[in-house]
Structure 1
Amino acid sequence: MPGLLRGIARTAVVAGTATAVSNRVSRRQAGRWAREDEQQMPSAPPPAAGGDDVIAQLKDLGDLKAQGVLSEAEFEAQKRRILG
């Protein structure tokens, strides 16, 4: 009976360790993918010459910010670029 309990305990320790390692690897990989996605973020469209186009671009830029595609700093930089 002690041999059986020792075997069960060892299996539990190995399974727990494997689960912890697997979870850690998954979190690290998800973080790496998130950083790669942030680096590949699309920029706003280039500015056009007309006044209506500027307003449309600013609205599109605001939509991208509201969707979380652009950060506050990126939004401000693109807005300054559009407004000249």
Structure 2
Amino acid sequence: MPIRRVGRPGLIGLAARTAVVAGTASAVSGSMSNNRQRKQQAEYEQQQYQAAQQQAAMQQAAQDAVAQQQAAQAAAAPAAPAAPAAPAAGGVDIVAELQKLASLKEAGILSDDEFAAAKAKLLG
């Protein structure tokens, strides 16, 4: 019968203890990493949602501003009888169309390039 040493584990006991400690450490590390990734994903989705809401609000405000400006122009048009009412050869009032394009550009709906292209199309 072999004599057992008391106080210190044998080689197999030491290896088993090391495996348990290493396994526990890797499980905890993986869990922390997963939690961190889920939290970052949730924050990213929240930011995207807020950006989409802001964009929608800005577009609605721009549409409202254009509608108000068009209503003001429509109300002011009959009050000004001296305004030239002769449309161009194509049947389009170029000045009114240019004013509409300018208001869309100021509202941020049209970019500079889009405005220039539409203006060239009207004048050309």
Aligned partners of 1:62, 1:6: CA distance in 2, in Å? 64
Runs of 4+ in 1 over 3 A off after TM superposition: none
Identity %: 7
Aligned partners of 1:5, 1:33: CA distance in 2, in Å? 42
Corresponding position of 1:46: 81
> What TM-score results when the alignment is normalised by the length of structure 1?
0.57
Aligned partners of 2:52, 2:58: CA distance in 1, in Å? 10
Query: Taking CA–CA contacts closer than 8 Å with sequence separation of 6 or more, which of the two structures ends up with the larger relative contact order?
Result: 1
Question: How large is the Cα RMSD of the aligned pairs?
Answer: 2.6
Larger-Rg structure: 2
- The residue correspondences of 1:1-84 to structure 2 (distance < 5 A) are 1-41=33-73, 42-43=76-77, 45-46=80-81, 60-62=84-86, 65-67=93-95, 68=97, 69=99
Equivalent residue pairs, number: 59
Structure 1 alignment gaps of length 5 or more? 48-56, 71-84
> What TM-score results when the alignment is normalised by the length of structure 2?
0.41
1:7-52 deviations in Å (ceiling 9; x for gaps): 11011110110011011101111110011001100316336xxxxx
Structure 2 alignment gaps of length 5 or more? 1-32, 88-92, 101-124
